Amino acid sequence: MKTIFISIFLLCAAVNLRAEDGHQLWLRPHQAAPVTVVMASKNSALLAMAKQELERGWQGAAGATVTLTLKKDNAIKHDGFRLGPTSVRATTEAGLLYGVFELLRRQQTGQPVADKVFNPSYEYRLLNHWDNPDGSVERGYAGHSIFWRKDSSFVVTAKDKALWQEYARANASVGLNGAVINNVNASPRILSADYLGRTKAIADVLRPYGVKTYLAVKFSSPVLLGGLKTADPLDPAVRKWWQAKAKEIYQQIPDFGGFLVKASSEGQPGPQDYGRTHADGANMLAEAVRPYGGLVMWRAFVYSPNDKDRAKQAYNEFVPLDGKFRDNVIVQVKNGPVDFQPREPFSPLFGAMKKTSVMPEFQITQEYLGHAIDLVFLSTMWEECLRSDTYQAGPGSTVARCTDGSVYPQKHTAMAGVANVGLDTNWTGQDFGQANWYAFGRLAWNNQLSSAQIADEWLKQTFAGAADQRATTAAASDWNTNFLVPITQLMLASREAAVNYSMPLGLHHIMSATHDHYGPGPWWAPPKMRADWTPPYYHQASANGVGFDRTTGGSNAVSQYHEPLAAQFNNPATCPDEYLLWFHHLPWDFKMKSGRTLWDELALHYDQGVHQVRQFQQVWDKAQPYVDAERFVAVQNKLRAQSGNAVLWKDACLLYFQQFSHLPIPATVEPPM
Ligand code: GCW
């Protein structure tokens, strides 16, 4: 009888574990050692979380006493903390929570805990959710929204709350302290009483984890929701409407973070509809939230059909406004000048706006990088951007330093990532998508971290437990050599592989329009379609060659970069291969640095991408002994699909471009199917 019970119990536990393998993210449960937590300050919801986390995850000496102290310390900035082996000191409660998570992370990943101060690179570290009020998610590949329901039911269930809590905990564990919970293509309804009620409920759940709630707003809300005749930012009635709306929000959510705005961009209404500037629009909203300490994040993602080079427009519109924004406005700039492509040079706005707070926006959801199918670790892409030298204030003016307050005295510093989270059991669709959420948080906390370290940390926390659970000692001891090392390498190579099989050598925006940006589509150009939405606008392939001429003789986008970059990019002999066709239109037989022709080089890159993914498949197959069956098979299936996608990209692009090049596929390249 007893054995039956035990077997049933074990079976249930196993089923449960399996069902939750992906759900636990990098916060997987493990046996904690007993610990006593002493708090040298009065209790609060946030401190209770910090205590609970310590008790839940302590891996240090059994029976240790850990002290959490709130104390003034000039070395600590924002939500930073001072860590010791059994102590965390901070000047804010959130700082204590982050310190606890850092301590636990170090214990779990085998990093030393010496007496040291940890300060965040950015004051605001936010996820942007492109979640619509009906529960759908724009560019979301992991199911419906975790915040909004299709049936417009505003009933907040216990299940909702549990989910939001897990979400907030995951954010806090990597130092994220804000969430914009609706799409930048915002519905005016988000500011209606019903939606504000649900927003308050969400904010109440996120708050104990130090995560503030923000909303994206539609610029024409005063007209669409308020019934006014205009949304002109200089109209007194409009200003009053926003002030009243802000008051209404702050009455319910006293620590509401503020507004994110996409205006005069991609058909969204904005100040330009009334002949006003971005600064007029942003400042009007900034004044509405200022009494409550709120922020306005104003996006610089702008382009228009008439512009001959879309890559130039944001710089042209925003640089003249430098210094004209209120100090609670941050201009939010995508990492590249076009749109989250697999590889872009950094946006020339970074470093160029010297008297304005400017924040980078990265895309965690893989809109152009294989959705939730392809395994692409985006950390290396963000690291590449953050480490790019803008030269705007001399050598060493990297994007990281131009945005984190090191170079310019910005009033506020922030970084945003477009979330890849949905209702899927494993949150992100592809299990390795979790690594991108994790990496974004870690880089927002410390913009100098290396992707290698981030991958190492994430793998240890996400997969090490699986080997333990299987209780195969052999598996546990070989784990480093047979799992950690090869899978770290796979992750670090994965973004370059994606560039190779999709848009190598600076090609961009040649993806499929009809498959929601998954797979190739360099040919797509229906009659009467806006040219800047079609791939031929970007690749410019003809018998003469391929690539977008952004040199001084072309669109002159190169001149938006500070020297020595402008000259370097302008000359095909010095322009890095990675950006060659971004800046140049070159003949098919152009001689590359490798000595090969451009055509051969292109073919080789596509081929290389395919081989890399096939190699990833082999590496993953060998990981089987170290991963639970559910995640092993799930990732294996995704890699199989990715491999097919890579072949499709290569074949489609080579056959398409060959119509113009009229050149044979090089002998070393696998011929298209
Ligand atoms: O990347 C493009 C996307 C749109 C998105 C837009 C933006 C939210 O295709 O779906 O809209 O960028 O960033 O505003």
Residue 184's domain is classified under what CATH number? Answer: 3.20.20.80
Closest ligand 1 atom to 130 CA:
8
Report in angstroms the alpha-carbon separations of 179 from 210, 330, 453: 11, 16, 25
402 C-alpha to ligand 1 centroid (Å): 25
Helix ranges (DSSP H) in 110-192: 158-173
- Does the beta carbon of 246 sit less than 6 angstroms from any atom of ligand 1? no
Closest ligand 1 atom to 185 CA:
8
290 and 427 inside one domain: yes
138 C-alpha to ligand 1 centroid (Å): 8
d(CA 172, CA 165): 10
- Does the beta carbon of 93 sit less than 6 angstroms from any atom of ligand 1? no
Does residue 518 contact residue 525 with C-beta atoms inside 8 Å? no
- Does the beta carbon of 262 sit less than 6 angstroms from any atom of ligand 1? yes
Helix ranges (DSSP H) in 140-269: 158-173, 193-206, 221-224, 236-252
Considering the domain boundaries, does residue 565 fall inside one? no
- Does the beta carbon of 339 sit less than 6 angstroms from any atom of ligand 1? yes
Considering the domain boundaries, does residue 512 fall inside one? yes
308 C-alpha to ligand 1 centroid (Å): 20
Does residue 288 contact residue 245 with C-beta atoms inside 8 Å? yes
361 and 289 inside one domain: yes
Instruction: Give the model's pLDDT for residue 304.
Output: 82
Q: Is the peptide bond before 564 cis (omega within 30 degrees of 0)?
A: yes
519 C-alpha to ligand 1 centroid (Å): 17
72 and 128 inside one domain: no
- Does the beta carbon of 340 sit less than 6 angstroms from any atom of ligand 1? yes
514 and 633 inside one domain: yes
Instruction: Give the model's pLDDT for residue 5.
Output: 43
Instruction: Give the model's pLDDT for residue 284.
Output: 98
The catalytic position among 248, 266, 327, 589 is 266
The catalytic position among 367, 457, 607, 630 is 367
| 379 CB neighbour count, 10 Å cutoff | 28
Closest ligand 1 atom to 138 CA:
10
Does residue 81 contact residue 117 with C-beta atoms inside 8 Å? yes
- Does the beta carbon of 309 sit less than 6 angstroms from any atom of ligand 1? no
Residue (of 114, 167, 105, 172) closest to 460 by Cα position = 105
572 C-alpha to ligand 1 centroid (Å): 31
654 C-alpha to ligand 1 centroid (Å): 28
Considering the domain boundaries, does residue 460 fall inside one? no
95 and 215 inside one domain: no
Q: Is 538 helix (H, G, I), strand (E, B) or coil?
A: helix
Does residue 428 contact residue 372 with C-beta atoms inside 8 Å? yes
Does residue 604 contact residue 669 with C-beta atoms inside 8 Å? yes
d(CA 64, CA 247): 47
108 and 171 inside one domain: no
Of 429, 449, 469, which one is at a domain's C-terminal end? Answer: 449
Considering only CA atoms, which residue is closest to atom 2 of ligand 1?
339
Of 449, 468, 490, which one is at a domain's C-terminal end? Answer: 449
Considering the domain boundaries, does residue 364 fall inside one? yes
Residue (of 416, 422, 365) closest to 135 by Cα position = 422
Range of the domain at 194: 124-449
Amino acid occupying residue 260:
L
Considering the domain boundaries, does residue 205 fall inside one? yes
Active site residue 307: no
298 C-alpha to ligand 1 centroid (Å): 15
What token pair was written down for 492? 């670090």
Ligand 1 mutation target, pool 138, 180, 361, 508, most atoms within 8 A of CB = 138
- Does the beta carbon of 138 sit less than 6 angstroms from any atom of ligand 1? yes
Please list the rounded mean pLDDT of every run of 10 residues in the chain (673 residues): 43 42 87 91 90 95 96 96 97 97 95 95 98 97 96 87 98 98 98 97 98 98 98 98 98 98 95 98 98 98 88 97 98 98 98 98 98 98 98 98 97 98 97 98 98 97 70 69 96 98 98 96 95 96 98 98 98 98 98 98 98 98 95 98 98 98 96 89
d(CA 432, CA 639): 11
Instruction: Give the model's pLDDT for residue 367.
Output: 98
Does residue 100 contact residue 54 with C-beta atoms inside 8 Å? yes
d(CA 305, CA 362): 24
198 and 276 inside one domain: yes
Ligand 1 mutation target, pool 218, 261, 333, 367, most atoms within 8 A of CB = 367
Of 90, 117, 144, which one is at a domain's C-terminal end? Answer: 117
Residue (of 279, 286, 362, 263) closest to 325 by Cα position = 279
d(CA 218, CA 267): 12
Helix ranges (DSSP H) in 65-192: 93-109, 158-173
382 and 258 inside one domain: yes
| 587 CB neighbour count, 10 Å cutoff | 15
Does residue 137 contact residue 129 with C-beta atoms inside 8 Å? yes
The catalytic position among 79, 339, 344, 600 is 339
d(CA 260, CA 267): 17
- Does the beta carbon of 131 sit less than 6 angstroms from any atom of ligand 1? no
Residue 303 sits at φ, ψ, to 5 deg, of: -165, 155
* 528 backbone φψ class: left, alpha, beta (φ>0; ψ -120 to 50): left
Angle in degrees, CA 277, 282, 285, rounded to 5 = 135
Q: Is 68 helix (H, G, I), strand (E, B) or coil?
A: strand
Considering only CA atoms, which residue is closest to atom 13 of ligand 1?
301
- Does the beta carbon of 89 sit less than 6 angstroms from any atom of ligand 1? no
- Does the beta carbon of 301 sit less than 6 angstroms from any atom of ligand 1? yes
Give Cα 295 to chain centroid, integer Å: 20
d(CA 539, CA 507): 6
Q: Is 125 helix (H, G, I), strand (E, B) or coil?
A: strand
Considering the domain boundaries, does residue 5 fall inside one? no
576 C-alpha to ligand 1 centroid (Å): 28
157 and 57 inside one domain: no
Considering the domain boundaries, does residue 614 fall inside one? yes
* 578 backbone φψ class: left, alpha, beta (φ>0; ψ -120 to 50): alpha
The total of structural domains in the chain comes to 3
What token pair was written down for 184? 């930048």
Q: Which residues does 50 contact at the CB level (< 8 Å), separation at least 6?
A: 37, 68, 88, 93, 96, 97, 99, 100
87 and 107 inside one domain: yes
183 and 244 inside one domain: yes
Q: What's the CATH code of the domain at 102?
A: 3.30.379.10
Considering only CA atoms, which residue is closest to atom 12 of ligand 1?
339
Does residue 551 contact residue 583 with C-beta atoms inside 8 Å? yes
Considering the domain boundaries, does residue 317 fall inside one? yes
82 and 184 inside one domain: no
294 C-alpha to ligand 1 centroid (Å): 25
Active site residue 367: yes
d(CA 298, CA 279): 9
- Does the beta carbon of 184 sit less than 6 angstroms from any atom of ligand 1? yes
Write out the H or E segment, with its range, that includes residue 620.
helix 598-621
- Does the beta carbon of 243 sit less than 6 angstroms from any atom of ligand 1? no
Q: What's the CATH code of the domain at 530?
A: 3.90.1330.10
DSSP 8-class letter at 483: I
Largest CA distance in the chain: 85
Q: Which residues does 524 contact at the CB level (< 8 Å), separation at least 6?
A: 512, 513, 514, 534, 535
635 C-alpha to ligand 1 centroid (Å): 27
- Does the beta carbon of 136 sit less than 6 angstroms from any atom of ligand 1? no
DSSP 8-class letter at 666: P
d(CA 379, CA 132): 27
Active site residue 79: no
